[in-house]
Amino acid sequence: MRLNHSDSDASHAPSRAPGDGAGGSPAPSRVLLREGAFAVAHHRCPPEDHRWQTENQVVTGHLVVFPWSVTMMRPDSREHFVADPNSVLFWNRGEVFRRDLVSDRGDESALFAVDSSLAVEMLAAHDPSVREHPEAPFRVHRAPSDPRLFLLQASIMRAAMSGEAVDGVEWQEATLTLVRHAIRGAYTAVAQAGRRRPAARRRMQWEAVEATRALLASRWDERLSLAMIAERIGFSAYHLCRVFRAGTGRSLHEYLTQLRLRGALERMASMPQMGLEAVADSCGFANHSHLTRAFRGAFGVTPSAARRLVGEGRIKELGACLSLA
């Protein structure tokens, strides 16, 4: 199947602002692959885009989104939250929201769209009530992103953006696997969060956790200290560590390491000539060995293997390595 580079087929929240017509700026999302019930798209909204000042709406389908950058999302009907590479997002078709700029990269992400019937079928095992609201199947907006799924989406996107022919069955099966596991992980995370939620849901603590997510996701490649992070957030280091773990289920160090690993993966895939020692140093790891240990522990493959599989868009081989049944 050939790629469909149709800029008019926008998906993740292209703005429907008054005055946008044929002469307006291009839609921020580009559909790369489409077949029947689902599609794959690349979304990019740079800092200078007017859509930061307007309402945005999801128009293509129900979306599973893997952020590549950090952005503050403000849905009309739900609480605001930070979207970053450690998270996976779920948007229902027709949802309206605004967003705030956090980093100079703007808003960039991988989008996987499914229609209502497929979404309901995949969600039914986790939320039996979904059949009562098929027009808005997702009841979760954000969940932790499994490192293996982040690696798989990177491979799918690399293949889709290469401009070369992509086997239809291969990318469709991989997309179904990706979405299914993302949904399962999200509903598992929601169940676990419910047991630790009360303290972390207080307004001041919620704001502190979201501000910390934004800080870490925008400065993950810098040498950070706990004292500096706590000072920026306005909490004591001890209190911030407790609140952050209560709100995310992870320590600050774990969260930061995952951001650095995702950043390392992106640099390896986009800069094939960059040596692993340089990648490690630029992403906050002590050395090549430190990166390799952390990378293999999170993704299940070595950095060299990931660079080859993702860089060459070898979706099927990578899926087998990740043991995603």
pLDDT in tens, 91-148: 999 999 999 999 999 999 999 999 999 999 999 999 999 999 999 999 999 999 999 9
Contact 65, 111 (CB under 8 A): yes
The reported pLDDT for the residue numbered 86 is: 98
Tell me the C-alpha distance between 259 and 214, whole Å.
11
Largest Cα separation within the chain, whole Å, is 55
pLDDT in tens, 249-281: 999 999 999 999 999 999 999 898 999 999 999
| 140 DSSP 8-state letter | -
The reported pLDDT for the residue numbered 18 is: 27
CA–CA distances in Å: residue 318 to residues 85, 264, 299, 305: 20, 17, 11, 9
| pLDDT-flagged residues of the chain (< 50) | 1-24, 200
Half-sphere exposure of 63 (CA within 13 A, CB side): 29
The reported pLDDT for the residue numbered 10 is: 39
Same CATH fold assignment for domains 29-193 and 197-322? no
The reported pLDDT for the residue numbered 325 is: 58
Architecture of domain 197-322: Orthogonal Bundle (1.10)
Q: Can you read off the two tokens belonging to residue 118? A: 């497929």
> Would you kindly state where each structural domain of the chain is located, as residue ranges?
29-193, 197-322
* Of the options 3.30.450.20, 2.60.40.1250, 2.60.120.280, 3.90.180.10, the CATH number for the domain spanning 29-193: 2.60.120.280
The reported pLDDT for the residue numbered 306 is: 92
Tell me the C-alpha distance between 69 and 158, whole Å.
17
| Terminal Cα-to-Cα distance of the chain (whole angstroms) | 25
Global confidence as pTM? 0.89
Half-sphere exposure of 111 (CA within 13 A, CB side): 32
Tell me the C-alpha distance between 202 and 243, whole Å.
10
Tell me the C-alpha distance between 218 and 84, whole Å.
9
